[in-house]
Amino acid sequence: MTRTHVAGFASVAALALTTLGSIAGSLDRAERSASQVAPRPELFEPGLVSTERAESAPAFSPDGREFYFSRADESGRRQILVARRAGDGWTAPEPLPFADARYDDSKATLSADGGVMVFASNRPAPTGPAVAPTFLDLWMSTRQGQAWSEPKPLAGDVNTAWDEDFPVLDAGGVLWFASNRSGGEYRIYRTRLSEGRFGTPELYASALDSGSGEAVCYVAPDSRYLLFMSMRP
């Protein structure tokens, strides 16, 4: 998958959102009634979160009081920002403590207990030269009080010399992500979080795997359904 395809997947001018609960509820109701119409999306916090920049990849903390998202600068390089609930509104978004303007960080996803964050980045490996690679890897940070630890690349077989992107942590501790490690388009992989580490990823070979390029963007809490993106015709 080329960078153009990735941009086609992910780039938006602003965040138009309903709550995940509303989306999930609408989908559940749609299963019972084919005539169910999903709620109309509304721009989320215009001028504060949703701006003239490209914002994408929203994620709420489990208690709904923190909102994480990615915002691109003039060059297209992204940072992960967080806004916090304050009364009936939200605080001004702030970069996470480990933000580094030299690198592209995006698509934060949180574990069910809010203690682990996984995101995609072109940061260089801690033991390598301080030069951003041309591919994306998955990185992990853990919550330390109200802050986040310095991130580390996922250990084991998760990261390769190809792209690993679009991470989604589900309620059961499974990490879904997309990779073009097979040498073609993005395909969906998954691995499980256990005792702070992720195991060897497995290819999610299913009807979703068309060979045209797919990535998961949401998994229901009970795992009965998922939402995914595809470049298929």
pLDDT in tens, 167-179: 999 999 999 999 9
Q: Which helix (H) or strand (E) holds 5?
A: helix 3-10
**4 — phi, psi (to 5°)?**
-60, -40
Q: Does domain 57-230 have CATH number 3.30.70.860?
A: no
One-letter amino acid identity for 210?
S
Burial of 16 (0-12, 13-18, 19+ CB in 10 A): middle
Q: Token digits for 149?
A: 């630890």
Residue 113: predicted pLDDT: 94
What lies within 8 Å, CB to CB, of 167 at 6+ separation is 107, 109, 118, 119, 120, 138, 175, 176, 177
pTM listed for this prediction: 0.83
Q: How far is CA 123 from CA 96, 101, 104, 140, in A?
A: 15, 10, 7, 12
Residue 78: predicted pLDDT: 96
pLDDT bracket for residue 6 (50, 70, 90): very low
What's the mean pLDDT in 40-62? 93
Residue 126: predicted pLDDT: 80
Share of the chain above pLDDT 90, in %: 59
Does 29 score more than 60 pLDDT? Answer: no
Does 56 score more than 70 pLDDT? Answer: yes
Per residue in 65-87, pLDDT tens?
999 999 999 999 999 999 999 99
Q: Which helix (H) or strand (E) holds 24?
A: helix 20-32
Better pLDDT: 37 or 94: 94
Mean of all residue pLDDT scores within the chain:
84
Share of the chain above pLDDT 70, in %: 82
Query: Is residue 81 within 8 Å of 93, Cβ to Cβ?
Result: yes
- Which three-class secondary structure string do you get for 101-156? CCCCEEEEEECCCCCEEEEEECCCCCCCCCCCCCCCEEEEEEEECCEECCCEECCC
What lies within 8 Å, CB to CB, of 188 at 6+ separation is 176, 177, 178, 203, 204, 208, 209, 214, 215, 216, 228
Q: What angle do CA 42, 74, 64 make, to 5 degrees?
A: 35
Q: Token digits for 141?
A: 């940070």
